[in-house]
Structure 1
Amino acid sequence: MLTPQEQENRSISLLAEVGRTVTSENDIGKVLTLVLFIMSEHMNMLRGMITILNRDTSEIVINHSFGLTADEKERGRYRIGEGIIGQVVKTGRSVIVPDISDEPLFLDRTRSREKEQKKGLCFICIPIRSGSEIIGTLSADRRLSHPEEQSEKKSAKNPNTEADLLQHYVDQLSIIAAMISQAVRLRQLASESDRHDQFHPPSIPAEEAREEEIVPEEMRPKNIIGNAKPMHGLFRLIDKIAGTSATALILGESGVGKELVASAIHFRSRRSSKPFIKFNCAALPESIVESELFGHEKGAFTGASSTRQGRFELASGGTILLDEVGELSLPVQAKLLRILQEKEFERVGGSKTIKTDVRVIAATNRNLENLIVDGLFREDLYYRLNIFPITVPPLRERKTDILLLADYFVEKYNAMNQKGIRRISTTSIDMLMRYHWPGNVRELENCIERAVILSEDNVIHGYHLPPSLQTAESSGTPCTGSLQQKLEAIEKEMIIEALKSTKGNMSRAAAELGLSERIIGLRVRKFGIDYRKFRP
Structure 2
Amino acid sequence: MSERATRDRIGLLRAALALTQERDVEKLLGRIMDEVTRVLDADRSTLFLYDSERRELFSKIAQRAEVTEIRLPIGRGLAGHVAKTGTAMAVDDVYDDPRFTPETDRSTGYRTKTVACAPLLTPDGRTVGVLEVMNKREGVFDPDDVKLLTAFAAFSAVAIENARLYDEDARKSMQIQALNRQLKDALERQTKRLANVEQELESSKRELGERFQARNIVGRAPAMVELQRLVDRVAGTDAPVLIQGESGTGKELLAKAIHFGSRRAAGEFVAENCAAVAETLLEAELFGHKKGAFTGADRDRQGLFEIASGGTLFLDEVGDMSLEMQKKLLRALQEGEIRPVGARDNRKVDVRILAATNKDLDVMMKEGTFREDLYYRLNVVRLRLPALRERREDIPILVEFFLDQIAKESGRPRATVSDRAMKALVRHGWPGNVRELQNEIRRAAIMADGLIDPEHLSPQVLGSAGADGMPTGGTLKGAKLALERKMIEAALKRTGGNVAAAARELGVHRPQLSVLIGKHKLARKGEEA
TM-score (norm 1): 0.47
Q: Choose between structure 1 and 2 for higher RCO, CA contacts under 8 A separated by at least 6 residues.
A: 1
Instruction: Decide which structure has the larger Cα Rg and report it.
Output: 2
